[in-house]
Amino acid sequence: KQEVTQIPAALSVPEGENLVLNCSFTDSAIYNLQWFRQDPGKGLTSLLLIQSSQREQTSGRLNASLDKSSGRSTLYIAASQPGDSATYLCAVPYSNYQLIWGAGTKLIIKP
Amino acid sequence: DGGITQSPKYLFRKEGQNVTLSCEQNLNHDAMYWYRQDPGQGLRLIYYSQIVNDFQKGDIAEGYSVSREKKESFPLTVTSAQKNPTAFYLCAAGANTDTQYFGPGTRLTVL
């Protein structure tokens, strides 16, 4: 069964740094991968959806890449800001209606 | 104001008590979902509904029940059979896994 892993569980960096969050999956037969953001005690917001035919997807300072052969996706955040502090989760579908989720990386940007 | 609303924001349950979490959407999506989130774990699917008057069990349905009498509403009941219900519960709606919109969540605590 598909497993999704996000390492590290937590990351703290100074403001202004560029950073990379990682997401690994065990079954490369995926048709897309999504990145979400969750603020403390809140719901999730979709950030980027990258199709299996794409290698990258960009939105503002965020860039997601997908390498199916290695079972890996990265979320690159440029010029980090304190407002980027949140938990970032990745998920892959295993049916039309079901997703398998990583446990998330809690990101803290220090002013 | 469009989106997903969940109530209450905080809920406390006594031993042996059933409680119901509300989820309402005005996005006109057919599919709705209930997830459970525990610290350090990914989201786990409890139930989902693709259409009114139909719903399917997710990975952790034991001790939970749902109904889908209206397109806009998908309430979740946490029964006394759920022995460890303390968690953050998230409701979502969307056409499929590519488009899921999340509510703000309900935090349930067992007293």
Question: Which pLDDT belongs to residue B2?
Answer: 63
Give the chain B residue nearest A93 (alpha carbons).
B97
Q: How many CA atoms lie within 13 A of B90 on its CB side?
A: 21
Interface contact A41-B33, CB threshold 8 A? no
Question: Which pLDDT belongs to residue B104?
Answer: 96
Question: Which pLDDT belongs to residue A37?
Answer: 97
Q: Which residue has the tokens 């997601």?
A: A64
pLDDT tens digits, chain A, 111 residues: what are they? Answer: 899 999 999 999 999 999 999 999 999 999 899 999 999 999 999 999 999 999 999 999 999 999 999 999 999 999 999 999 999 999 999 888 889 999 999 999 999
Question: Which pLDDT belongs to residue B1?
Answer: 53
Give residues 47 to 106 of A whose Cβ lies within 8 Å of B: 49, 89, 91, 93, 95-104
Interface contact B96-A42, CB threshold 8 A? no
Query: Per-residue pLDDT tens for B44-74?
Result: 999 999 999 999 999 999 999 999 999 999 9
Which tokens in the block code for residue B63? 């001790």
Contacts 24+ apart (CB under 8 A), B78-83: B78/B13, B78/B18, B78/B19, B78/B20, B78/B21, B78/B108, B79/B18, B80/B15, B80/B16, B80/B17, B80/B18
Give the chain B residue nearest A5 (alpha carbons).
B42
Task: Answer yes or no: are the C-beta atoms of A29 and A51 closer than 8 Å.
Answer: no
**Distance of residue A90 Cα from the nearest chain B Cα, in angstroms:** 9
Q: Please state the rounded mean pLDDT for residues B80-109.
A: 92
Task: Answer yes or no: are the C-beta atoms of A15 and A103 closer than 8 Å.
Answer: no
- Confirm or reject contact between B43 and chain A (CB < 8 A): yes
Q: Which of A36, A44, A94, A106 best probes binding to B when mutated, by most B CB atoms within 10 angstroms? A: A44
**Distance of residue B56 Cα from the nearest chain A Cα, in angstroms:** 10
- The band of B111, judged by pLDDT with boundaries at 50, 70 and 90, is confident
Comparing CA positions, the residue from A25, A48, A24 lying closest to residue A36 is: A48
Interface contact B102-A102, CB threshold 8 A? no
pLDDT at B84 over 60: yes
Pairwise CA distance, residues A91 & A4, whole Å: 7
